[in-house]
Amino acid sequence: MSTLSNRQRFNQIQPPQKLYEKLERLGFGSLRPTKRYAWKNKKIAPVTTTTTAKAAAFQNYEPKEPEYKFPLLSFFAGAKTPASFPPEDLGEIAVVGRSNVGKSSLLNTLAGTTIVRVSDKPGLTQQMNFFTVGKLFYMVDMPGYGFALVDDEERQQWRQLMEDYISNRKTLKRVYMVIDARHGLKVADLDFLRMLDRKKVKFQIVMTKSDIPVLPQLARRIITVQDGLKGFRNAIQDVLVVSSKTGAGINQMRKEILFLMGHLKSKEFYK
């Protein structure tokens, strides 16, 4: 029988080297070069002239990702009932998550704007907000769930609206569930994910505020979140890791969304 607390178990997770390498590529910094992480000390290949040395250097060289940008974000419609959803004329992604996890900030950072309302007060997104990204696709900012200050009846109504939307929206390509990198998947999140699974809607987890935990804690959190997704059929197993504050991971998320919406050729995507 294990006598370890959850916290102790969490701290015992040893994230693999390739996860740290991925986080470094995304812009989350790197581990301090201590003995324990000696493998982190490998040097960048020196500039060389002979062909074989050049080839060797090239193997260690990672081409810089192009910078992906979204076209102009504009507010298109706010909806409190299904009757006010805009027509299903473009592909669409929706962002869900608990209140205050950073959904609106994420949409702003993705689009390079400040037009989505961000707040320190939870529960302010009281309707579904549809934004157009140029004429390419819609992004939908959903009301936060698990918000304690609204009464049960109101919460039930929001839940119903979101379920209606998720069940019936033909152009919805993917739901991004935003979670806080410090906390991982909470009961309210799992509950929502089960609903998405029942409705057969593909979803992906986005861990935001990933600038806050120190790197080993962030890496451990990613591992526990991925473990938590194992039972879900409609989960994209890969977790997106981002910070709206520093911009780390944002380029990768833009790239994946543009690809999903059909605006990147697969050749560009898999480069």
Ligand X SMILES: Nc1nc2c(ncn2[C@@H]2O[C@H](COP(=O)(O)OP(=O)(O)O)[C@@H](O)[C@H]2O)c(=O)[nH]1
Q: Is 109 in the site for Mg ion (CB under 5 A)?
A: no
Please list every residue from 216 through 255 that binds ligand X, using CB under 6 A. 243-245
Q: Is 15 in the site for ligand X (CB under 6 A)?
A: no
Q: Is 129 in the site for ligand X (CB under 6 A)?
A: no
Q: Is 108 in the site for Mg ion (CB under 5 A)?
A: no
Nearer to ligand X, 100 or 252 (CB): 100
Stretch that binds ligand X, among 29-37, 102-110, 165-173, 233-241 (CB under 6 A): 102-110
**Which has the closest alpha carbon to 129: 156, 161, 151?**
161
Beta partners for 207? Answer: 179, 241
Please list every residue from 69 through 98 that binds ligand X, using CB under 6 A. 97
CB 158 within 8 A of CB 145: yes
Order of strands across the sheet with 137-141?
73-79, 128-133, 137-141, 91-97, 172-180, 203-208, 240-241
Nearer to ligand X, 161 or 264 (CB): 161
Nearer to ligand X, 128 or 264 (CB): 128
User: Of the candidates 103, 221, 254, 255, which one interacts with ligand X according to CB under 6 A?
Assistant: 103
Please give the backbone phi and psi of residue 97, each rounded to the nearest 5 degrees, phi first. 160, 170
* Length in residues, the chain: 271
What residue number has its CB nearest to Mg ion? 104
Nearer to Mg ion, 103 or 220 (CB): 103
**Residue 161: C-alpha distances to residues 135, 137, 165, 166, 201 (Å):** 26, 21, 6, 9, 16
Site size with ligand X, rule: CB under 6 A: 20
Stretch that binds ligand X, among 6-14, 62-70, 99-107, 183-191 (CB under 6 A): 99-107
Q: Is 120 in the site for ligand X (CB under 6 A)?
A: yes
Nearer to ligand X, 169 or 245 (CB): 245
Q: Is 143 in the site for ligand X (CB under 6 A)?
A: no
DSSP category for residue 35 = G
Q: Is 125 in the site for Mg ion (CB under 5 A)?
A: yes
DSSP category for residue 76 = E
> Nearest approach, Cβ of 73 to ligand X (angstroms)?
14
Q: Is 104 in the site for Mg ion (CB under 5 A)?
A: yes
Rounded to 10 degrees, the C-alpha dihedral 234/238/242/248 comes to: -150
Q: Is 132 in the site for ligand X (CB under 6 A)?
A: no
- Angle at which helices 250-260 and 103-111 cross, to 10°: 80
Task: Outline where the chain has alpha helix (H).
Answer: 6-12, 17-26, 51-60, 103-111, 152-168, 187-198, 215-228, 250-260, 266-269
Q: Is 210 in the site for Mg ion (CB under 5 A)?
A: no
Number of C-beta neighbours around residue 138 at 10 A: 24
**What is the contact surface with ligand X in residues (CB under 6 A)?**
97, 99-105, 118-120, 125, 144, 208-209, 211-212, 243-245
**What is the contact surface with Mg ion in residues (CB under 5 A)?**
103-104, 125
